[in-house]
Amino acid sequence: AQTVTQSQPEMSVQEAETVTLSCTYDTSESDYYLFWYKQPPSRQMILVIRQEAYKQQNATENRFSVNFQKAAKSFSLKISDSQLGDAAMYFCAYRSALAMNNNAGNMLTFGGGTRLMVKP
């Protein structure tokens, strides 16, 4: 079974600064997807960024980028020019790329989350 670990329960960043959230995972599979989700106080889960394991190029979405190190099984999220609206819980998630009839290949495995605080 896959596991996802976020070693930082809380992080703090000054507005306009850059912060990196860590995520490591354990899997025996070679093909998979990794995600970062944001959960603001409203508790609506919002997809921030997605990375396919077969792609060497790191995914970027505006101020959000990842550092995907497949050999090290590491998937960190960098938030540049932090804004007050970035304050939220951030969850790293793993999903297998194998399509299975019993839906096991569809399920997301989440890390424990990192609470990001942004100081004005």
Compute CA distances 17 → 65, 81, 84, 97, 101, whole Å. Answer: 14, 5, 11, 35, 45
Q: Please tell me whether residue 85 adopts helix, strand or coil conformation.
A: helix
**For residues 6 and 76, which CB has a smaller minimum distance to another protein in the complex?**
6
**Min dist. Cβ of residue 27 to another protein (A):** 16
For residues 46-55, one letter each, b for 16 or more C-beta atoms within 10 angstroms of the residue's C-beta and e for the rest, the string is eebbebebee
**Min dist. Cβ of residue 87 to another protein (A):** 15
Q: Which residues bind another protein (CB under 8 A)?
A: 37, 42-47, 50, 91, 97, 99, 102-103, 105-108, 110-113
**Min dist. Cβ of residue 2 to another protein (A):** 12
Residue for token digits 């106080």?
A: 41
